[in-house]
Chain A
């Protein structure tokens, strides 16, 4: 009579496997990092590494410079992003979609590419802007208007590609504040300005702060921009200093000690950000909300639009223009004219330069590999956690999200330490880069999947079971088709993240395992800026193509990435 037997759920085995993988990915590098930071080269416990951070001027100065840059860049990003987000999401600004698209473009532009472009624009001698300035103001040959190789220059260039973080958080907040709240203020006698000051601003202040904190973290942990703009004029930030500690003779213990504070600051700032955004939840309290009513700018519509375009000069129009110019003229100093046009850089990159093909193949392999693995793990974790199928299901999302607190360069140091020793000898192979990308991109991928899972009612799958489908049949016939767009979006987002990564890559790459971002960095070192521009533009085209594809997808419960 007894028909009912349920064997141990295979979900439990899967859970265990995924948990082990996540622990290996996250815990091992951080563990080794911590161990190295408190030991010396011989393996004895010591506090000397941390002492050196504080005492040695060669270490202390980068620390100060980094903080200066991070604060300046975050403030700059905030000052630009706040009016921009307000105009786009709360007023009848013309071509709001275009402005949002341009912000998205800044968002996905690899910062190191932007830094190179600004080299082309604002290097003291050859910079295009300085050439224009000399012609315009009649200056001498060696005078210049702007110099990008300065602390201010680095901060500016970082801000150019960090402001979308502030913009996105703030625009989301503004989009979600119901217009009733403004209207309630109007009906009680508050004018437009009064309402902005007393109602709208206080409501979105946490969002502004939270976005600015993210920009601060970006500026703090970025490697590409300072490596390209600070090193030539002989100063270091913390990230470039860590990188230099891996040059000959390598000092991994000191590097570990230098990386650890960055991890701690990141953890702190993320906690602060969560607290700020968590408190914001009172925004959505209340009954039915209408769509936000847009403020009418009247005569200010077009000036406001021009203001937005002006801001977009700096992250988009000027840099992209400089890259295109450098890509199509024969010599970098040539003016743009029919006579100087040349396909030599294109030819060089495509046919002559041996590094291109390998780098492209490597990038493609790593991109596809990481995107596939991350999507798979994110789906499994999202499913197990959402369906609460296994004991300890709350632990998995925490593990999957943990790398969000690990800056690329810190992960690079940690992975270097783990995988240059037995039993995991991965250094020098693509494997170590694969591990790095999977870990670094896991949070982004998992966030996508989690959002989709929340929009997917459990009963949809249960309905399939009760009508006779096994769990696997239900997954195949119901859940998988409903998650299809999410899967594509997640995969694409990870792919984009991988092809633009430089901070961790630079520490883990070797001459056999170059990827496009590293080749671009190398080409900058050797001064091949024309060829670099061709490769950079290629990277941008691929990125934009993927972004366009993703934004066309009708994603369940979301609107694609970023803005």
Chain B
């Protein structure tokens, strides 16, 4: 069993705190994505798990064994993990086959068995014909597959991926995304996957860990994260959203001149709260209507984006809202229209 558990991990370089008390529990065989903007500590977390970084506080337990503790860590080579690096880190002085067989050689396997396993792995990664090439002679996608084959050849209990697709073009990226998921399901190891691309995380992960400023912001399934964000940061980072801030007045929130009702989530305990509503959930009408969460608005900007239209609206009191609508709803900048923020779609956020 190779469940991975991080308990209260802290790490700082001087005054710079890169991991600020991370708690995270990953089941055996799970594929978990660490998602966040650059500098949020996701790569640091991965390297802490790999043993390249020693935590200041907290511990990392893998499969019931404590591998890292405050100021001490089992070196990476003894963790039975495997990793795909952002730069791929293919060794330029070794052929594809030598790269893939490297880890097996270190495990002192008989030569014939190494050759057999390398051949099998090259087959899985569709690299048979490139076995004797050097990494410098391969395309980006091929290099990526070599990195994958090399990482899987050692049959790791835990596979770590550090933004493995960020150097590929869009088409290849999509293909490799499904490939990574397919191999994960086929081999059944535990995977920790670092990315800053929410689409990548949504489509591959069992669970997503959204990170911000060295701490975990929210953990949940892709649906959880998208439909039930707990914080402004998560709502903004995943999918983009409108945030309306205001003071709590009983069961409504007063944001500027607007009184807003919400149907989802619970506000925090403070006096202030935020309401999140996604642009495609905003409803537009030709004239202002009566009812809860209905307001008058002025169209500031209209952008045609293929299958939809994207509007920027002024609701008065310096409150701007974006709306994405069907093509049929066509307004021009300057039009006075009606806006409804459906109560059942408005989510109160604790943070």
A: which residues have CB within 8 A of B? Answer: 1-6, 457, 459-460, 462-471, 473, 477-478, 481-482
Q: Is the CB of B66 within 8 A of A470?
A: no
Contact (Cβ within 8 A) A4 B67:
yes
Q: Are B72 and A5 in contact (CB under 8 A)?
A: yes
Stretch at the interface among B83-91, B230-238, B293-301: B83-91
Q: B81 at interface (Cβ–Cβ under 8 A)?
A: yes
On chain A, the residues within 8 Å of B72 by CB distance are 4-6
Bound-state CA distance A469–B75 (Å) is 10
**Given the contacts A464-B102, A466-B77, A467-B103, A2 and B89 also touching, CB distance less than 8 Å:** no
Q: Mark B209-250, 1 if CB is under 8 A from A, else 0.
A: 000000000000000000000000000000000000000000
Picked from B68, B69, B74, B89, the residue with its CB within 8 Å of the CB of A463 is B89
User: Which of B73, B89, B106, B160 is the one whose CB lies under 8 Å from A459?
Assistant: B89
Given A459-B89, A463-B83: A6 touches B75 (CB 8 Å cut-off): yes
Q: Please give me the 6 A-B residue pairs with the lowest Cβ-Cβ distance, nearest first.
A: A467-B103, A459-B89, A4-B74, A463-B89, A468-B106, A459-B85
> Considering residues A3, A467, A482, which has the most beta carbons from chain B within 10 angstroms of its beta carbon?
A467
Residue B54 at the chain A interface, CB threshold 8 Å: yes
**Among the listed A5, A465, A481, which residue makes an inter-chain contact with B76, where contact means beta carbons less than 8 Å apart?**
A465
Shortest A116–chain B CB gap in Å is 45
Chain B residue with Cβ nearest A478: B91
Let me know if B191 is at the binding interface, CB within 8 A.
no
A379 to chain B, nearest CB (A): 17
Interface residues in B, total, Cβ within 8 A: 34
Q: A2-B69, A482-B92 are in contact. List 13 more A-B contacts (CB 8 A).
A: A2-B66, A3-B67, A460-B89, A460-B91, A463-B85, A465-B75, A465-B76, A466-B77, A467-B77, A468-B78, A468-B103, A469-B77, A482-B91
CB-based nearest A residue for B162 = A459
Residue of A nearest to B60 (CB): A4
Report whether B93 and A481 are in contact in the complex, using a CB–CB cutoff of 8 Å: yes
Chain A residue contacts of B347, Cβ below 8 A? none
Q: Which residue of A3, A465, A467 is within 8 Å of B66 (Cβ)?
A: A3
Question: What is the number of contacts between chain A and chain B, taking CB atoms within 8 Å?
Answer: 83
Contact residue among A1, A6, A465, A468 (Cβ-Cβ distance under 8 Å from B107):
A468
* Residue from B73, B76, B107 whose CB has the most chain A CB atoms within 10 Å: B76
Chain B residue with Cβ nearest A484: B93
Interface residues, chain B, with chain A CB atoms under 8 Å away = 50, 52, 54, 64-69, 72-79, 81-83, 85-87, 89, 91-93, 102-103, 106-107, 150, 154, 160
- B81 and A466 form a contact (CB under 8 A): yes
Are A466 and B83 in contact, with the CB atoms below 8 A?
yes
* Contact with A462, one of B68, B76, B103 (Cβ below 8 angstroms): B76
B83 CB contacts on chain A under 8 angstroms: 462-463, 466
**How far in angstroms is the closest Cβ of chain B from A238?**
46
Q: Given the complex, which residues of B lie within 8 Å of A468, measured CB to CB?
A: 77-78, 103, 106-107, 154
B77–A4 CB distance below 8 A: no
Q: Once bound together, how far apart are the Cα atoms of A467 and B90, in whole Å?
A: 12
User: Which residues of chain A have C-beta atoms less than 8 A from B65's C-beta?
Assistant: 1, 3
A462 to B53, CA, bound (A): 11
Given contacts A468-B107, A469-B106, A478-B91, contact A4 B86 (CB under 8 A): no
Contact B76 A466 (CB under 8 A): yes
**What residue of chain B has the Cβ atom nearest to residue A468's Cβ?**
B106
Please report the C-alpha to C-alpha distance between residue A335 and residue B65 in the assembled complex, in whole angstroms: 88
- A457 vs B167: C-alpha distance when bound (angstroms): 15
- Which chain A residue lies CB-closest to B80? A468
The answer to whether residues A6 and B73 also contact, given A1-B65, A463-B89 and a CB cut-off of 8 A, is yes
In the complex, what distance in Å separates the CA atom of A471 from the CA atom of B51? 13
Whether the Cβ atoms of A467 and B150 lie closer than 8 Å is yes
12 example contacts (A-B, Cβ-Cβ < 8 A) are as follows A1-B64, A5-B74, A6-B75, A459-B85, A459-B86, A459-B89, A465-B75, A466-B50, A467-B103, A467-B106, A467-B154, A478-B91
Q: How far is the CA of A460 from the CA of B74 in the complex (A)?
A: 20
Residue numbers in A under 8 Å from B85 (CB-CB): 459, 462-463
> What are the residues of chain A within 8 A of B103 when measuring CB–CB?
467-468
B50: chain A residues at CB < 8 Å are 462, 466
Instruction: Evaluate contact between B73 and A466: CB separation under 8 angstroms.
Output: no
Partner of B87, one of A457, A467, A481, A482: A457
The residues of B that contact A464 with a CB separation of less than 8 Å are: 91, 102
User: From B13, which residue of chain A is reached at the shortest CB distance?
Assistant: A388
Instruction: Find out whether the CB atom of A4 lies under 8 angstroms from the CB atom of B66.
Output: yes
Q: Are A459 and B87 in contact (CB under 8 A)?
A: yes
Chain A contacts for B106, CB-based, 8 A: 467-469, 473
Cβ of A245 to closest chain B Cβ, rounded Å: 50
| Min C-beta distance of A526 to chain B, whole Å | 53
Residues in A with CB closer than 8 Å to B86 are 459
Closest CB of chain A to B191's CB: distance in Å?
Answer: 14
A162→B72 CA distance, assembly (Å): 54
Contacts of A3 in B (CB 8 A): 65-67, 74, 78
B97 to chain A, nearest CB (A): 15
Query: Taking the nearest CB of chain B, how far is it from the CB of A529, in angstroms?
Result: 50
Residue with the greatest number of chain B CB neighbours at <10 A, chosen from A468, A470, A482: A468
Q: How far is the CA of A1 from the CA of B64 in the complex (A)?
A: 8
Is the CB–CB distance between A457 and B89 below 8 Å?
yes
Look across to chain A and name the residue whose beta carbon is closest to the beta carbon of B154: A467
CB-CB under 8 A from A467, the residues of chain B are 77, 82, 102-103, 106, 150, 154
- Residues on B with C-beta less than 8 A from A470 are 75, 77
Q: Which residue among B74, B91, B160 has the maximum number of chain A CB atoms within 10 Å of its CB?
A: B91
> In the bound complex, what is the Cα–Cα distance between A6 and B51 (angstroms)?
11
Q: In the complex the two chains form, is B68's CB within 8 Å of A4's CB? A: yes
Q: Cβ of A465 and Cβ of B77 under 8 Å apart?
A: yes
Residues in chain B near residue A465, CB distance under 8 A? 52, 75-77
The reply to whether A4 and B93 contact each other, CB–CB distance below 8 Å, is: no
Measured in the bound complex, the distance between the Cα atoms of B54 and A4 in whole Å is 11
